[in-house]
Amino acid sequence: MSTETEFHAGGRAGEPVVSVRGLRMTYGTREVLTGVDFEVHAGEVVCLLGPNGAGKTTTIEILEGFRLRSGGEVRVLGEDPASAGDAWRARIGVVLQSWRDHARWTPRRLLKQLGGYFVAYSTPGRTRPYEVDRLLETVGLVEHADRKIGTLSGGQRRRLDVAVGIIGRPELLFLDEPTAGFDPQARRDFHDLVHRLSDLEGTGILLTTHDLAEAERLADRMLVLADGHIVADGSAEALSRQVAGTAEVRWSRGGERFVHATEEATPFVRRLFEQHGEEIEDLEVRRASLEDTYIAMVAASESGARHAPTLAEVSR
Ligand code: ADP
């Protein structure tokens, strides 16, 4: 994906498109967010992960300006979402979990209609809206452009949702569980689309997902939200490295299976061969997967371990 020096679409290079400091949210007496800190930069794809009820939707809705926070500092495209106006809203895109409307309209007509709203928000650096034919092509809906929306399949409908979210050529896009219900091909197409948006348009993207494989494939950076705050912030690789010091070595000898957990897999295997030579069979060395890492992090923070593994920002 893009590097910071390539950014041009989102304004001043290097300035975060999202900046969150000490964000708190209380529902009644229940503190859901106790101090959330993170940033998103232009052209960056950031994935917000966390168990159900962790506060992912709450966080995203605060950034979108749909929910008022209890405390903390939030800047989105340089403004406070709690007070930002229409011109700001025209610069962000939102794809909600589901959106049902206009069943008798066609994708082309809906996109044309919605696009009209953004004309007034064109800038010299960013013409708005997206040209409808080009957008239909981008999301893979050319063949279905003139069908009634009510007759689209689930995957096609979801691609239309994305088109609706990006018709105004947003500088920042929020995607809440964007591929829920997608088949593997639709999922792959969607991932390509996200990469195109971040690479070619410089769009910053913040998405939530439950699917770790998806997060790994899509995100430049992952944020893990648990116990009211961000317990990990880094690339998939960095996250795995942080917790995955331990490897599991499995082998069999004389028909018996053995398993050994070690932080020093290579010397261990060397010693194993020195000791047993050709008797060793079926050797396997397995590093913790991202899923193991994620589960370990969430479990550590939920069990109240205040020093759950926290990553320093890790550059790509
Ligand atoms: P996630 O998206 O990570 O599943 P949510 O942000 O939806 O988490 O919810 C976080 C917590 O806040 C949950 O326990 C949920 O029940 C609670 N919550 C969310 N919205 C409200 C609300 N409007 N009023 C009271 N509690 C809420």
Mutate to test the pocket of ligand 1, among 23, 29, 31, 32 (most ligand atoms within 8 A of CB): 32
For residues 155 and 185, give the distance between their C-alpha atoms in angstroms, rounded to a whole number.
10
Phi, psi angles (nearest 5°) of residue 5:
-70, -15
The number of the ligand 1 atom at minimal distance from the alpha carbon of 52 is 4
Whole-angstrom Cα Rg for the chain: 23
Q: Residue 29: CB within 6 Å of ligand 1?
A: no
- For residue 68, the one-letter residue type is L
The closest residue, in CA terms, to atom 14 on ligand 1 is 53
Q: Which two structure tokens, joined as six digits, stand for 148?
A: 């009634």
3-state DSSP call for residue 192? helix
The closest residue, in CA terms, to atom 19 on ligand 1 is 58
**Cα dihedral angle (94, 98, 101, 102), rounded to 10 degrees?**
80
For residues 177 and 114, give the distance between their C-alpha atoms in angstroms, rounded to a whole number.
23
Q: Residue 52: CB within 6 Å of ligand 1?
A: yes
The pTM is what?
Answer: 0.80
Q: Which two structure tokens, joined as six digits, stand for 111?
A: 């996109």
The number of the ligand 1 atom at minimal distance from the alpha carbon of 61 is 6
Q: Residue 55: CB within 6 Å of ligand 1?
A: yes
84 Cβ neighbours under 8 A, 6+ residues apart:
65, 76, 77
Q: Residue 57: CB within 6 Å of ligand 1?
A: yes
**Cα dihedral angle (108, 188, 93, 69), rounded to 10 degrees?**
140
What is the predicted pLDDT for the residue at 38? Answer: 97
In contact, 311 and 238? CB cutoff 8 Å: yes
> What is the total residue count of the chain?
316
Q: Residue 27: CB within 6 Å of ligand 1?
A: yes
Q: How far apart are the first and last CA of the chain?
A: 10
What is the predicted pLDDT for the residue at 5? Answer: 36
What is the predicted pLDDT for the residue at 314? Answer: 28
Q: Residue 53: CB within 6 Å of ligand 1?
A: yes
Mutate to test the pocket of ligand 1, among 24, 47, 49, 58 (most ligand atoms within 8 A of CB): 58
For residues 46 and 233, give the distance between their C-alpha atoms in angstroms, rounded to a whole number.
10
For residues 70 and 24, give the distance between their C-alpha atoms in angstroms, rounded to a whole number.
5
Mean pLDDT per 10-residue run, the chain (316 residues)?
A: 39 77 96 97 93 92 96 97 96 82 90 96 93 90 95 86 92 88 79 87 89 86 93 84 73 93 88 94 85 79 55 31
In contact, 228 and 30? CB cutoff 8 Å: no
Q: Helix 290-302 vs helix 236-243: angle between axes, to the nearest 10 degrees?
A: 60
The closest residue, in CA terms, to atom 22 on ligand 1 is 27
What is the predicted pLDDT for the residue at 14? Answer: 67
Q: How many CB atoms lie within 10 A of CB 79?
A: 15
Q: How many CB atoms lie within 10 A of CB 280?
A: 15
CA–centroid distance, residue 265 to ligand 1 (Å):
42
DSSP conformation letters of 200-249: HS--EEEEE-S-HHHHHHH-SEEEEEETTEEEEEE-HHHHHHHHTT-EEE
What is the predicted pLDDT for the residue at 177? Answer: 84
pLDDT digits (tens, 9 = 90+) for 288-309: 777 777 887 788 777 765 443 4
